[in-house]
Amino acid sequence: MSSPASTPSSASSTAAAEALPFGRLTTAMITPFRPDGSLDLAAVQKVATYLVDGGNDALVLNGTTGEAPTTSDQEKVQIIQAVREAVGDRAKIVAGVGTNDTAHTVECAQQAEAAGADGLLVVTPYYNKPPQAGLRAHFTAVADATGLPNMLYDIPARAGVEITTDTLIELATHPRIVAVKDAKGDLAGTTKVLANTDLFYYCGADELNLASLAIGAVGIASVVAHVASREYRQLIDAVVAGDLATAQRIDRRLVPAVEAIMTRTQGAIMVKAALRLAGVIEHATLRAPLLEATAEQTDWLTTDLKTAGLIA
């Protein structure tokens, strides 16, 4: 990977990031498993340390990329504790706690707080497609359940229902609902929310990182940053400094990596393969129903990561 750029804005950007609830650069972290599918906490700590060393202000644990659907509540707690032990106070820990059961989500939120999380990622309840009133009740119940700041995760492609602009504006009045991980891709709707609330937006779709930052997102919650943290740190610093040309150059250079990881097949599959290619993890094991990348997919990935300048 390329080394971080040294820019006059770096110090001021770092200071500004410290005033944000989760900084600017966050990665939705994988959960490493051993070949037999068991949780590999040593590898969890290695990945977390690697990401924080690469410039991440926060790590989002136990999300979809972390294979939350196939890890137990106890394993989720162990992951939070292991990452806290590994990175200390060098980065915030945002724990994914969302389910499609409000009572269970509240329980997970309280467990995450007890385990040492700094914030909560709460995804839109999926599959059962609640109405907006149900979403407001769900997110409010979770925010009321702990003293931690909440980041709502708006991803209708997976959840089956969006958090509407009006609902986001209403929820923003809750003192612990402070941020949105936006994977909806509605830039006009995002702009309206930003114009009417104090919510901090984090782009949750790597192909829209630059566009989201340009309209006022404070940072990104990335998957591709597993192998491009330094590059995304440079991109964010360039936007903060008003250097659009540099930000555009980095964004365009990373297009092959974004396509390789986020469009060839499921993202967790490809990013684990990418981390193995980069020598960060030994095993790219996933839990069923996800499967490891095929030889053909790995070949495509290798070519694309080389084109993006992320591996030798």
Q: How far is CA 197 from CA 36, 49, 120, 139, 156, in A?
A: 47, 34, 19, 17, 21
Say how many CA atoms lie within 13 Å of 118 toward its Cβ: 18
Catalytic residue among 181, 184, 232, 272: 181
Active site residue 76: no
CA distance 186 to 273: 30
Residue 254 CB partners (closer than 8 Å, separation 6+) = 206, 224, 228, 231, 232, 308
Q: How far is CA 297 from CA 24, 66, 238, 259, 292, in A?
A: 31, 20, 32, 12, 10
Ligand-binding annotation for 221, yes or no, is: yes
295's tokens: 């030889």
Burial class of 58 by CB neighbour count within 10 A (0 to 12, 13 to 18, 19+): buried
State the amino acid at position 196 in one-letter form.
N
CB atoms within 10 A of CB 216: 13
Question: Which residue of the set 50, 126, 153, 202 is catalytic?
Answer: 153
Residue 129 known to be catalytic: no
| 22 to 16, 122, 181, 194, 201: CA distances (angstroms) | 11, 14, 11, 17, 10
Q: What one-letter code names the amino acid at 271? A: V
Q: Is 65 annotated as a binding residue?
A: yes
Residues annotated as catalytic (active site), given as ranges: 153, 181
**Which positions make up the binding site?**
65, 221
**Which positions make up the binding site for pyruvate?**
65, 221
